[in-house]
Amino acid sequence: MMKATPVVLLLAISLLLAGCGQPQGQAQGGTQQGSAQSGVAPGGVDGLAVEKGDAVKAEYVGSHTDGTVFDKSEGRGPLEFVAGAGQMIQGFDEAVIGMKLNEEKTVTIPPEKAYGTADTARKAQVPLEQIQGDGNISIGSDIYSEGTKVGTVTEINGGMATISMMHPLAGKTLKFWIKIVDIKKEA
Domain boundaries, the chain: 7-116+169-184, 120-164
The answer on pLDDT for 48 being more than 90 is no
Question: Of 141, 161, 160, 144, whose CA–CA distance to 152 is shortest?
Answer: 141
DSSP H helices in 123-171 = 128-131
What do you get for the CA distance between the two ends of the chain, in Å?
46
Specify the pLDDT at position 6.
38
Specify the pLDDT at position 135.
67
pTM for the model stands at 0.63
3-state class (DSSP) for residue 151:
strand
Specify the pLDDT at position 146.
79
The CATH number given to 120-164 is 2.40.10
Specify the pLDDT at position 86.
86
Class of domain 7-116+169-184 as given by CATH = alpha beta
Give me the sheet containing 142-145, strands edge to edge. Answer: 123-127, 160-164, 148-157, 142-145
